[in-house]
Each structure stands twice: as C-alpha cells, then as structure tokens.
Structure 1
Amino acid sequence: MSTPTPFRPACDETDELVIERHAREPAVWIVHHRETRLIVGTAPWSRARVLLSRSEFQHPSCYALVGDTDVLQDGRGVAGTHIGRTGRPPARARQHRHAPPLAGMSTLTVISLDSGRGLLLEEAAALEQALHEAAAAAGSHQVVSRAPRDRGLSPGVVTRVQRWLDTLRWMLPVARCDILEAGRRAAPRPGARAEPEPEAAGLPPSMGWTTRLPQGLLARADVRRFRLERGEIRATALVVDGWCILEEGSHARAGEIASLQAGLRNKRHALRRAGILEPVPGRQDLWVATARVGVPSLTNLTRLILGNNARHQVWQQVP
C-alpha cells in the first residue's frame, strides 16, 4: 500500500503542465500533462522509494534506469540506460536492487497515466518499444536493455503512443530526464577523435548555437518567417533547410523558471557572456539580440527567449 508523501506544487509554468516537488526531497520531481494525463516521475535511485510511494506509480508503467558509470560508445563516454515496463513499479524496483541491470544506477524515471489504473498492457508494450527506439536513435545514452519484440500491436494503440512520445520529448526534460535528448554528448575520451562542431561543419546546430550561417542561406525563396509577441517580448525567427535563426533586434526575457532544462539555461548564459544577448538599456528584465543566431529548432528557440517550457505554437508565421 502506498504511503502519502508531502508533495507540493512547484511552479505551474504552462497551461499544459503541472509540476510537483517533494517538500523534503527536492530532487524528486513529478510532472503531469493535463490533456493526455501522462505523468512522469524522476528521482535519484537512492530516493526511488519516495517516488514510488505515489499512488499513480502502483500500476502498469514504463521506466528508465540511468547508470552512474560511463559506457564507451564510438570513443566517447555516455550513460548506460535500461528501459523497461512493469505492472508494479515498486516490485520491479526491488528486483533491480537485488539484480541490478547496470553496474551502477543513478536515476529512475517512471512514466504512466494518471487514470487510477495506469497504462493498459498493450499501451505499456508499445510505449516501451517507442522509448527504446527513440532513446537509441537519440544517441545521448547507451541503451543496454534488450529491444522489445512485441508483435501484433493494435494500430490505434501505436498511433496513440506515438502522440504520447511527441509530448514526452519535451515533458521528460522538464522532469530532469534527458534520455530522448538528441545531440547531448559527453566529452570525448582521451585520444578519441573529436567530432566537428556544427559551426565548423556549416550545418544547422544539433544542440548548441552558432552565429556562422552559410552564405546565401537567407536569400533562398523557401525561407519562412515567424513572429512571436508575448507581453513586451517581440521576436522574429527565420526557418529554412533545417536552420532556425533568431533575428537581430529580437527580445528575450531575462528571467527564467526554476525547472528550465539545464542545457537551455547554460545556452542562455553562454549567449549573454558572448554578448549575443544584451540587456535593453534601462531594463533589467529584457534582453535584445545583437546578432543573428542559429539554434536547433523553433521549440528550442521559444524556450531560449522566454525562459520557460512553452512550445513552438506561440509563434505565428508571417506571410
């Protein structure tokens, strides 16, 4: 039987998400998605019992266990990750304590539905398969669990799970889980051949930012222009051939929410240090872009300039 725990609301940052933190265990996060009723919980492995005391995680769920030791992959160190599904997360956690699937275990993430019954068994099978494939394709973690081989999954379930996966791609980072984050690489091991930076390769950035744009890129006929207006924030973005570019003179919010993804927070600070984002004269709460800067996507740019977890739908395409 689950034991009530003192979770409390953190910041209700968006219309789509409700975020909770444990009052005495701030590293334990719970994120709810209002529309789909998806619920994601993350905790350090040492605090997994606190997370699994929640009534929502007593039913069929999918989960990811991230290791605290590096796995060598293509000359670089990445975190090993075990992805699975279970009818009773607390019982599966006890099994993993007795028979660890990884040499070391750092973080537990559990994904379920806040429905009183969790995932249907077929939903859990389809979601496990989708998470396994997406995490392996992202490449930021080495998936060490065996790929599931469920066959005969209903087309309706597969379609529903794919929609959930689209939501989880931005919901998981809010919960401090980065298994689906493409391009996040650990530092190369000594002697390993480093991959070229996006700036040097002349390609759209897959994770960082660049001010070096290919010659003639913005003169192309297929450039799409987008505008964002949110309070005093006015910004313009150009999207073409995989590039997403913030225009010079666009505004960004100086403040940011506490649950902003660490990579985005670091990127904002890097742009400030580089002088790409500068305070608007006489304002402490508003920045202005002093140059064009390319970022991985419109969603990434949205969160970069608003400092929260908003999605790309806040932009309007300009004819």
Structure 2
Amino acid sequence: MRAVVIREFGDASGMAVVETASPSPSAGQVLVRTDAIGVGGVDAVIRRGTLGGLGFETGLVLGSEVAGTVAAVGDGVDDSWVGRRVWAFTGTSGAYADEAVAAVEDVVPLPAELSPIDAVALGSAAPVARFALAHAHLAPGETVLVRGAAGSIGIAAVELAARAGASAVAVTTSSAERGARLLGLGATHVLDRRGGGDPTAPAAYDVIVDIVGGEHLPDFLDVLAPNGRLVLVGAVAGFPLPDFGMALLRAFRASRSFATFSLDSIEREALRTVRAETFDDAVRGDLHAVVDDVLPLSEAAAAHARLDRSPVFGRLVLTP
C-alpha cells in the first residue's frame, strides 16, 4: 500500500509517498481500507517538529483520523465489523495511507447517509468543540468568542455555541469572506485576528474558545468578563510565552480562568457516544461538515503547503 511519511521534519517538502507493507490488526484492532483521511492542524505541527518531547521520529506516517470500510479484524474483535463503514481514530499517526489500523474502541459506525469525507471533517473537530464548551461551563445567555474560527474546530464551536443559546458568538478570522461564511453558520460578530474591528461586538466575553495560542493569547485573557473562562484547545501559532499568566494575575479581582482541553482526557466510551451523536447531527443538518478541498493522497505535501501558507476554511481531506 501507499503511505505518506516524514523523511525530514520541517516544511512540507520533507514529506514523501512510499510503498510499504499493509499493517496487520493486532488484538483489539481493526484494519480500515480508507476512503477519506482528515488533514488537521496538529498534523502540521507534528510535521514541523515543533511538538517537543513526544518522541516522533522520521519515517512517521502522519494523520489521526480516517473513514472507510473495515477490511479485517484482530483477535478478540467481532467478525461482524468486517465490511462496515466506519470512522476511526488511529492515534497520533498512521492515517495518511491506503489502509490504517485502529483500536476497536476508537471506531464508530457511520450512518448510511453520511459520506466518509464529511465524517473526517467532523469526527475529531466537533467533539473537541463540544467538550471544550462543556469544559468552560457555557450557559445560555452568555457571550462567546471563538479565536481562529475558520478551521474545523472553530466552525463546530460557532455552531454549537449558537445552538446552546449564547447571546453573542463573536469570531476572529483573517478575511471578510471567511467572516461572512461564519455569520452564515451562527456567528453574530466578526473580528480581526487581534480581536478588534467590530464596534458592536461585546466588550468582554464569558467564554473564549482558543484554537490559536501563541504570543497574543494574553490579549484575549484581557477581554474575559468577570468570572470569564478561556479554554485553549490548540496552538497553531505555537505555545504562549511563559509569562502569559500574568494577564490573569493583573486582573485578579475579576476571577478570570484559563484552562487547556484535550480529547485525551475524555473516556473512550463517552467519546464514541459524542461522535455517534455528531454524525447523527450532521445527517439531520444540525451540524455542517465544511470541507475546504479534497486532494488525492499523493498530494499530501501540497495540502500541508497550503496549511503553511494560509488558514483553510474548514477541513482539508485526502482520498486514496
């Protein structure tokens, strides 16, 4: 089979398509013949080599989520999985390939009405957004800001916050065109990347979902309302500076809070339930799978080059 590996960490030119042996499912695993592969911001961060301490080595097959058909199962897995259309989480690697293995606990059957492309646009992103809003204890009538809203997590956060009864859902994004599309998905105010540009937007927010991170994160801590909560779910601009917490200490009497959120902290059964609900929501039209572009697996490096040049709107997807 074909797989996309990292020959050298850094820019997208360090990626290569290679021929390799198909993986065999171990005990408790399934083998999925892929129809669609999600390309995420975390894949680009891993490829750049900026996630230190996690032990990634050259030869790594990128990617974490696929949708396709179960072709084989390992010991201890019910044979009835074979032939079923599924979404699967492969871990931090292994997805950019014609075939991928995943633990059966990380596999969710797909509704007949949902395409594999739409499944990988939502399967990881929407649960991050849903759990992050729950982590922030969002209540109806509160104000929400989604920082970096044009990606798949941000889009899901906008839709979910609006559905939850937020009184305002402001977004930061890089262009008027993206802002207009976010307004169509439930946003009420469009801000520039630094959080300005709309004088009618709330002056402070009860909840901020931040996918960006980076050196400007303290600027957004400063626009939390009293008792406001910022939840960092990504760091596409890198980690904040070590002293970012001083923004909270300077406003001690406002009782603002900062938290991180990762799906790794959620039990697998809860994740499976939420993912199944997400796919049902998409079939009903309550959530939208927004796909920026679909490229062949052989153009994975081109997909990553696009991620490096400018933000995409929604998800990039690879197909074998």
TM normalised by structure 2 equals: 0.29
Identify which of structures 1 and 2 has the higher relative contact order when contacts are C-alpha pairs closer than 8 Å and 6+ apart: 2
TM normalised by structure 1 equals: 0.29
Over alpha carbons, which structure has the higher Rg? Answer: 1
